[in-house]
A = this chain, B = another copy of it.
Amino acid sequence: MPLYTESEAMSSTPPRARDENTALTRAVHAPRIAIEAVSPALDDGRFAAKATVGEPVRVSATIFADGHDVLAAEIGWIDDQGIKRRAPMQLARPLGLDRWEGHFTPDRVGRHVFYIEAWWDVFETYRYELSKKHAASVPIALELEEGRLLLERAAARAEAGLAQGLAKCLDALAQATDQGAQVALLLEGETARLMHEADSRPHLSRTQADYPLEVERLAARFASWYELFPRSQTPDPARHGTFDDVQRRLPLIRDMGFDVLYFPPIHPIGRKHRKGPNNSLEAGPTDPGSPYAIGSPEGGHEAIHPELGSREDFRALVRAAADHGLEIALDFAIQCSPDHPWLAEHPGWFSWRPDGTIRYAENPPKKYQDIVNVDFYADEAVPGLWLALLEVVQGWVDEGVRIFRVDNPHTKPLPFWEWLIQEIRARDPGVMFLAEAFTRPPMMLRLGKVGFSQSYTYFTWRHTKAELTAYFSELDASPMREGYRPNFFVNTPDINPYFLQTSGRSGFLQRAALAALGSGLWGMYSGFELCESAPVPGKEEYLDSEKYEIRPRDYQASGNISLEIAELNRIRRENPALQTHLGIRFHTIESERLLLFSKATESRANVVLVAINLDPFAAHEAAFALPFELFELDDGATLFGEELMSGTRVRWQGRWQSLRLEPARPFAVWRLRPENAP
């Protein structure tokens, strides 16, 4: 065993200058109370945790100190206006873990911060010891005198009103003749309240950092998205759809219960290397091209594709949408077509190759020649490009757009997003960004940390009971719950899920129910309600993809599921428990093809139970356990449910029941009540 040798010890005086007096001064002034594991927090306060306005923020921390004295703790929170408020904390159960909790409810959108303070609660410590000694019948004359002195000193330092109250206590104490009466006075709640008020808070310790909270409007966690290509809102593929055409569809979209209407890019589309139908490299003269090939002589990211209408038409659409309870979300896709004005105006914002040609995105042997990417760190791009992009977003905010779906944010620098989102939200904290990143898990979360309000997810590729349970649970656990709000899209123009290609209508109903009932945020791309699923063979792509063509649709086509979607959205609006992905609980149901979960508001005023058949081809029936624990019911008790799609009411006697779900209506959703409510 190589023991530590003397020569090692001798030579190891550390080289860095160590000032012993400074170390001592720092130590005697260091916080005596440890405050650890603060929640909600992301990377211990480096990033803002997510919250929504009007929703309580539950704060907890592990708080402890040397010795056995009683501690007290409080949350301090500062809203976006700099107004400070306080909220009490209590020791949480189980008590042995030194966990404290409290809550406050932000009433404004914007960046808030909170911190925690803890101190020695001298009077509570005194009360605890006095009551213990009193109960043990040991002599307590000296303790009573100590209590009197505590009150006296508190009265001396307290402001007038409080001092008066304490003086009254002291008078009463002086007049109490026997020890029992004195003890009662010292232990009574009113005395404790006054002493808490007058507390000098010895050994006050505060969290080292303030913990930021990004408080957003409700739509950040509860919204139903509908995506469409404005150019396809035409009965005739030869006639380009317009913003006015979109206006005519608003009532139908609202009838389905959506509240966000999202468009792929609406900017001028490049001509050079324009893609033809089905992503072919050669476009015909009438092919409209991909809206993601942004920029042409008509303008770039700030401009509107002329065939969609004028700026005034766009403004009219934004107003009309608002009148229908719909908010417009735009796409923010930073790449450029080779015809984008920036290439000529700012060649220094792009990468060039040794032969003077521009560098295209590539995935050998594929080459994406209809778009080029900017280079954020090129000499000339810093900071010109950054400011130009900020101006683009701000320009659309000025037009009333307050939601942006960002294309591939994970291929642009994280510091850029952190800066851009903070700049925009400093001007209007109601603006939100949805991250369309499908990449490795750490980046998915990090985008949420740097400021994206919502994110696309892996939901599209989670199908089995085990996969769904694990994924929904992961989203509900730290650090995802603090930093990442999942928007469950059932399909997108880029994703024609393999599952839906063969599942038929039942699969569409199943996925809509999983998304709409699984998360406060869900979305669909038009065609889903028609159960469209024809693929490019062997691929997760739509055949004759709308990305490259104008695709009129008959939205009344038979077999559509618009009515079911409307019902799901109605149920979401009527049940607060469904307006978040948080707090999901999975329950036992004895079939691998049936999924059973519940969601509940904290007060249990709204409790919803969801059952879904994951097999689109067969009915399944199984025994299941009702979530009696949510209502603290015994196994033999009665529970009432109202099935919210059909309105059917059921009275369950006993915890174990069974259910059957047919492929034709592969889900059921009950509102649960312990009593038979109206």
Contacts and interface: CB of A to CB of B under 8 A. Distances in A.
A217 B3 contact: yes
A369 to B, nearest CB: 13
Give the residue among A20, A137, A387, A415 with the most B Cβ atoms within 10 A. A415
A23 B429 CA distance: 17
A34 B31 CA distance: 31
Interface stretch (A108-116, A628-636, A655-663): A108-116
A258 to B, nearest CB: 13
**Number of chain copies forming the complex:** 2
Contacts of A664: none
Interface in A509-567: none
B108 A12 contact: yes
Interface in A1-54: 1-4, 8-9, 11-16, 18, 20, 23-28, 30-32, 34, 36, 43-44, 53-54
A428 interface: yes
B3 A440 contact: no
Interface string A612-645: 0000000000000000000000000000000000
Contact of A442 (B20, B62, B364, B415): B62
Contacts of A446: 34, 36, 64
Nearest to A8: B109
A82 interface: yes
Given A24-B387, A28-B386, A138-B364, A442 B12 contact: no
A411 interface: yes
Contacts of A194: none
Interface stretch (A418-426, A494-502, A586-594): A418-426
A572 to B, nearest CB: 10
Given A27-B415, A97-B441, A16 B423 contact: no
Give the residue among A14, A149, A354, A428 with the most B Cβ atoms within 10 A. A14
Contacts of A430: 4, 8-9
A287 interface: no
Given A146-B353, A411-B67, A383 B24 contact: yes
Interface in A141-170: 142, 145-146, 149
Nearest to A63: B442
A472 to B, nearest CB: 20
Interface in A187-232: 203, 217-219, 222
Contacts of A240: none
A413 interface: yes
A414 interface: yes
Interface string A61-80: 01011111000000000001
Contacts of A419: 23-24, 26-27, 30
A12 B354 contact: no
Given A14-B81, A138-B365, A429 B9 contact: yes
Interface stretch (A128-136, A244-252, A304-312): A128-136
A377 interface: yes
Nearest to A4: B217
Contact of A96 (B67, B218, B440): B440
| 3 closest Cβ pairs, A-B complex | A4-B217, A27-B419, A30-B415
7 contacts: A14-B426, A36-B43, A44-B44, A64-B446, A65-B414, A129-B362, A142-B354
Given A2-B54, A64-B443, 12 more contacts: A3-B218, A4-B217, A12-B108, A14-B110, A14-B426, A15-B82, A31-B415, A64-B446, A68-B411, A96-B441, A129-B364, A133-B365
